[in-house]
Amino acid sequence: MDAFYASVEQRDRPELRGRPVIVGSPSDQRGVVCAASYEARKFGVRSAMPSRTAGRLCPQGVFLRPRMDVYREESRAIMQLIATPGAVIEQVSVDEAYLDYSALCGAGDPDAALLEAVPIGRELKERIRAGRGLTASIGIAANKLLAKLGSDFSKPNGLTLIPERDKVAFLRPLPVRSLHGVGAVTEQVLVGAGLRTVGDLQDHPGDLRALVGSWGPVLRRHAFGEDDRALELGDEIKSISSENTFLRDTEDRAVLRGCLREQAEELAAKLARRQLEARTVQVKVRYGDFTTLTRQFSVEEPVREARDLYRLGAWLLARDRLVSRPLRLLGLGVSGLTEERARQMVFRWETGRGSR
C-alpha cells in the first residue's frame, strides 16, 4: 500500500488530499512520526522521526493522531480483497504482503509465466482502488527479493515487472542498501570498501565473506537477483508490548504506577484474545537524554493475568532502580509466548477414617 496511514486519512478527509499529512504526535509535543504522505516526504519527513523535527521541516504539515484500529481494520479488508483462489499469501505487515501465483501462471518459460501475472496485478490494483479508495504498488518477479524491489520502484500507484532475463541489469544501478539484509552497518562496511551499487557487488572479484562474514555468499546471490526464500505462512507471535511517551519527563510514582497498570491490563487482554501466556516480562525506560534501558525476568510457570504482569514489571523497575531520574517513556512487554495451558483442578482423594 502507498503511504498507508496517511492515504487512509486523506481518503476519509478529502480536504486533506494533496496536502502534506503527517500521522503521529503533534509537532509541539513529544512523540514520533508514524507515517507521512508523499507530499510531506518531499520535505524530508519520514517515519520514526521526532514530531518536532517534522514540524520544523514541514511547517505547513497537517499533523493527525494515528487511528491504529482504523488502519488495522482497513488492512483486514484489503487482505480479504486480495485473497483470491489459487493465491498463497504471506502478510508481512499491516500494509504489505507477498502473493505467490505460481499455481495459476503457466509452467515452462519463467518470463512467460511472469507476463501472465501482469493482468492479475492490474486487477488487484483496481479491486483495491474500487473497493477501498486507495492505491497500491505491485512488483512482479520470480522471487521475493525482486518482487519487493519492484513494488518500491515506481511508487505511488505503480506496477513493475522484472523479467528474469533483465534482473541483473535492473539491479546494477541500485544502491547496495536496496538489497534484502543490507542494513546501515553492512552498508557502511560495503561503501567503505568501494561497493556503493549492486553493480559494484556483481563486479567484485573478491570473496565478500572478507567484508560481511558468512553472509557473503548470500549477498552475492542477492546481487544477481537470486533468492530462494519461501513464503512464510505461519502467524506465530513472538512478543507483545505496550509503551507510553509522557508529555513531560516524570518520576511521579502514582503516574508511573497507573501507566504500568494500564499496560499490564492491555497486555493481559491481548494474551487472552490469542489464548497465550508469557514466560518473560520486560520493562523499558527512556530518559530525557534518550538513554534507553530494558530489563527482563523469566518465570518458570507462564503468566497471563494483569496483576502478575504488573507485579513483575513493578518489581523490575524497583530492582534495578530504573526510576532514579524522570522518565520520558515507560514500556511493558511480554515474550516467550506459549499456548494457554488447560486449567486443572486437582482433587485429593483419601481413603480410611471415613474421609474423602
Q: Kindly list the catalytic residues.
A: 96
**Residue found by looking up cell 486449567 in the block:** 343
Pairing of strands 292-303, 276-287: antiparallel
Sequence-ordered list of residues with C-beta below 8 angstroms from that of 273, at least 6 positions apart, any chain: none
d(CA 284, CA 295): 7
- Give the number of other CB atoms < 10 A from CB of residue 39: 22
d(CA 251, CA 262): 17
318 membership: H or E segment, kind and range: helix 306-319
d(CA 75, CA 267): 22
Q: Which three cell numbers stand for residue 130?
A: 474500487
